Amino acid sequence: MKINPVRLVDEFMRLVEMDSQTYHERPLADYVMERMRALKMFVLEDDAGERIGGNSGNIYGLMRGDDSLPPLMFCAHLDTVEPSRGKRATLAPNGRIASAGDTVLGADDLAGVAVILEALTVLSESGLRHGPIEVLFTVAEEVYCKGSRVFDFSKVLSEQAYVLDLAGPVGTAAYAAPSIVTLTITVRGRAAHADFEPQKGVHAIAAAADAISRLKLGFVDDETTVNIGLIEGGKATNIVPDVCVVRGEVRSLRHDKAMKRAQYIAGEFERAAKAIGAEAEADITIAATAYETPLDHPVVSRFERACRQVRLTPSLIKTFGGSDNNELALNNITGLVVACAMFRCHSTKEYTTVEELTRAAELTLALMTADA
């Protein structure tokens, strides 16, 4: 049995039409549970929704297989970034699938969801030999993987996983990803009338601006980036601002570097604030922890073997994007993040193609049966 491209594209188009923005994945969660139950899979929804303030939990599924073969997990996320309400997919004669242009398409990560469901359907219909297949459809991945962070991995059978959540041509997989450390820095000065007695004020925005001007932004070395993305402060044009809140993040392929750089940034704000009589307080949060999958690991060799089986050239890369694989790695599940037919993600120009969706499904099916 082979992948059915028509069925696959129909499934993808159907998924796109369901609203599934972060924290509001309920319609899509219900659909994937129904689909997996129709394949006679064990299906479970956890309590992630209640714990993170959403309307759906993570969805876990198990397709029984030959217990003499190693269990494998396949993961994709259900949520899509905004603007995504009311999204619709259009299929062009050349096989390109895009939105109407006023929303994202949602290929990130509905392409991964559709591909996994199609591969499972082929397994169910064909009788192809495979080991136990575990599926994890997560919620709230787009907000630093909050869904998978609260998932209970203690009952998971698999020690290896493939996370279908990477942009780029099918055949690409990321074996390393960064720590992501977020910073919220609050600078507190003193308000005063900006026209009559500005000398009595302590300018919180000025202190923050001084600190930012001293930071190196973008790539600070070949494996670490820094960004300041949000600045909020002030109440009126005639008041010396007494509070300024700055938000940013550090990403590094080495966790120790990410933490050290975050502490350095906090120190720069503290020094700038102190210099003018203000105070600065930094809230540093670890949003993701770096991992690197050894290139000689079976999860890599299986991927390379499956690529060759479907006539793809495997390409292994490092990425500066986080994914659910960061959380899997923290729970002793070794994985790769696999490219899955998504391009120009997080924009209204996002698209996929019938050809790439089909290739992704063929590769996923090959991964599911590679040990047979």
- Domains of the chain, earliest start first: 5-177+290-369 (3.40.630.10), 179-288 (3.30.70.360)
6-35 burial string, b = 16+ CB within 10 Å, else e?
eebbebbbebbebbbbbbbbbebbebbbeb
Please identify which of the residues 108, 141, 142, 324 carries the catalytic annotation.
141
Asked if residue 195 has pLDDT above 70, the reply is: yes
How far is CA 176 from each of CA 71, 85, 192, 305, rounded to the nearest angstrom? 22, 32, 50, 20
Lookup: tokens for 224: 């670490």
pLDDT in tens, 198-252: 999 999 999 999 999 999 999 999 999 999 999 999 999 999 999 999 999 999 9
Rounded Cα–Cα distance for residues 225 and 100 (Å): 34
Q: Is 141 a catalytic residue?
A: yes
Please identify which of the residues 11, 46, 79, 350 carries the catalytic annotation.
79
Burial class of residue 155 in the structure, from the number of CB atoms within 10 Å of its CB (0-12 exposed, 13-18 middle, 19+ buried): exposed
CB neighbourhood size of 357 (10 A): 27
* Strand ranges inside 139-209, DSSP E: 160-166, 172-177, 179-188, 192-193
Q: How many residues does the chain have?
A: 372
Asked if residue 103 has pLDDT above 70, the reply is: yes
pLDDT in tens, 27-80: 999 999 999 999 999 999 999 999 999 999 999 999 999 999 999 999 999 999
